[in-house]
Amino acid sequence: MRALALIAVCLLAAPAAADEYIGAEQCAACHAEAYAWWKTTAHARAGRVLSPAEQRDPRCTSCHATAIDQPHVQCEACHGPGQHYWPAFVMVDVHLARAAGLRSGAEPATCNGCHTADAPGLRPFDLAAALAKMKDHTPPTTPAKGAE
């Protein structure tokens, strides 16, 4: 009985442990254009501005990394950890994908979580202008290989 309860607790706890990041290269398999675009952005280099010590300092990695062992601001920093939504049969169904943790990326809280008043910058962060720069990162026509 106790063992059963434990299993139930583990199953219930599973979504909480879903903070599993698969890395931008995995997304690139189906989102080649988005990946190519992302590589040109400051987000893809965000870990490189840190010294080796800072790369392990949570005070810096909270914004300059996506997760432990996932440097830079990768896809999943904005779209949510991909462990449960990346399989093709989930991704083709946007409602299912959302339920599995996919985020549009455009929620203001996503950007504002790192682009806070504490972050350095010559100009204050202009959310609307910054979001507009995101618009062209994947043209809607991008064929996703997993679609078939």
Binding residues (CB under 6 A) for ligand HEC: these are 22, 24, 26-27, 29-31, 34-35, 38, 42-43, 45-46, 49-50, 54, 57, 59-60, 62-64, 73, 75-79, 82, 86, 88, 91-92, 94, 104-106, 110-111, 113-116, 118-121, 130-131, 133-135, 137-138, 140, 142, 144, 146-147
Closest separation in Å from C-beta 7 to ligand HEC? 28
In this structure, are residues 100 and 84 in contact, taking their beta carbons and an 8 Å threshold? yes
In this structure, are residues 90 and 100 in contact, taking their beta carbons and an 8 Å threshold? yes
- Residue among 14 and 139 whose Cβ is closer to ligand HEC: 139
Q: What angle do CA 58, 74, 13 make, to 5 degrees?
A: 70
Closest separation in Å from C-beta 12 to ligand HEC? 24
Closest separation in Å from C-beta 67 to ligand HEC? 10
- Residue among 52 and 120 whose Cβ is closer to ligand HEC: 120
**Alpha-carbon distance 105 to 78, whole Å?**
5
Torsion of CA 126, 102, 62, 40, to 10 degrees: -60
* Amino acid at residue number 53: A
